[in-house]
Structure 1
Amino acid sequence: MARHTTRRTFAKGIGGAIAAVTLPMAAAGSEEDWTVAETPVDATLHDVVEADDGLYAVGDTGVVLARTGEGWQTVVTGGPTGNGNDLYGADVTDDGERVWFVGASGAIGEYDLETGMLVDHSTPNDVSNNFNDIAVTGTAGEAAVYVAGDSGAVYYSFENGETGSWDNVTPGSGSNINAIDFHGPRSGHAIDGNQTVFVTDDGVTSNKLGIEDADYNFYGLDSNAPGDVWVSGGGGSVYHWNGSEWTRDSTGDASLRDVTVGGGGLTVGDGGAVFERSAGRWTATETPVGQNLSALARGSVDAAVGASGIVLER
Structure 2
Amino acid sequence: MSEREATRRGVLEGIGATVATALGGAALAGTATATETWTAVESPTGNTLHDVEDTTAGAYAVAGGGIVLERTETGWTKILGGGPTGNGHSLYGADVTDDGKRLWFVGSSGAVGEYDVETGVVTDHSAPMDATNNFNDVAVTGAAGEATVSVAGDSGKVYSSFENGASGTWEYTTPGSGSAITAVDFHGRRSGHIVDGNKSVFATDDGATWEEIGLADANVDFYGVDSDGPDDVWVSGGGGMAFHWNGSTWTPADTGDAGLRDVEVSDGDDSGYTVGSGGKLYALDGGDWTQAQTPTGQNLKAVVRGDPAIAVGAGGTILEA
Same fold (TM over 0.5): yes
Q: Distance in 1 between matches of 2:152 and 2:93?
A: 9
Counterpart check, 1:182 vs 2:156: no
Is 1:88 equivalent to 2:92 in the alignment? yes
Which consecutive aligned stretches of 4+ in structure 1 deviate over 4 angstroms post-superposition?
none
Match of 1:299 in 2: 306
1:126 is displaced (CA, Å) by: 1.1
**How far did 1:29 drift?**
3.2
TM-score of the superposition, structure 1-length normalised? 0.90
SS at match of 2:219: coil
Q: Secondary structure of 1:136's partner?
A: strand
Q: How does 1:39-188 map to 2 (within 5 A)?
A: 39-188=43-192
Offset of residue 149 of structure 1: 1.8
Match of 2:38 among 31, 34, 41: 34
Q: Does 1:275 align with 2:282?
A: yes
Match of 1:218 in 2: 222
Residues 224 and 260 of structure 2 are in contact (CA less than 8 Å); yes or no, is this contact kept in structure 1? yes
- Give the superposed CA RMSD: 1.0
Letter in 2 for 1:149: G
Q: Does 1:288 align with 2:295?
A: yes
User: Are residues 235 and 159 of structure 1, via their aligned partners in 2, closer, same or farther at CA, if it must alter by over 3 Å?
Assistant: same
2:274–2:303 Cα contact (<8 Å) kept: yes
For the 8 Å contact 2:40–2:320, the answer to whether it is kept is: yes
The letter of the residue matching 1:146 is: S
Unpaired runs of 5+ residues, structure 1, are 1-26
What is the aligned partner in structure 2 of residue 7 from structure 1? none
Q: Distance in 2 between matches of 1:307 and 1:28?
A: 22
Give 1:28 shift: 5.2
Deviation sequence 1:43-100 (CA, Å, 0-9, x none): 0000000011110000100000000111101111100000000000000000000000
Relative to structure 1, the CA distance from residue 121 to residue 267 in structure 2 (aligned partners, 3 Å threshold; closer, same or farther) is same
Higher relative contact order structure (alpha carbons within 8 Å, sequence separation ≥ 6): 1
Q: Please list every run of 5 or more consecutive structure 2 residues that lacks an aligned counterpart in the other structure.
A: 1-32
User: What is the number of equivalent residue pairs in this alignment?
Assistant: 286
Normalising by structure 2, what TM-score?
Answer: 0.88
8 Å CA contact retained: 2:283, 2:291:
yes
Report sequence identity in percent.
60
Structure 1 CA distance, aligned partners of 2:225 and 2:308?
20
Opposite residue 251 of structure 2, the aligned amino acid is T
Letter in 2 for 1:177: I
**Which amino acid in the other structure matches residue 254 of structure 2?**
S
Q: Is the 8 A contact 2:57 2:118 kept in 1?
A: no
Distance in 1 of aligned mates of 2:114 and 2:108 = 15
In 2, Cα distance between equivalents of 1:170 and 1:256: 25
Query: Secondary structure at 2:306's aligned position in 1?
Result: coil
Residue aligned with 2:264, SS: strand
1:241 is matched with which residue: 238, 245, 252? 245
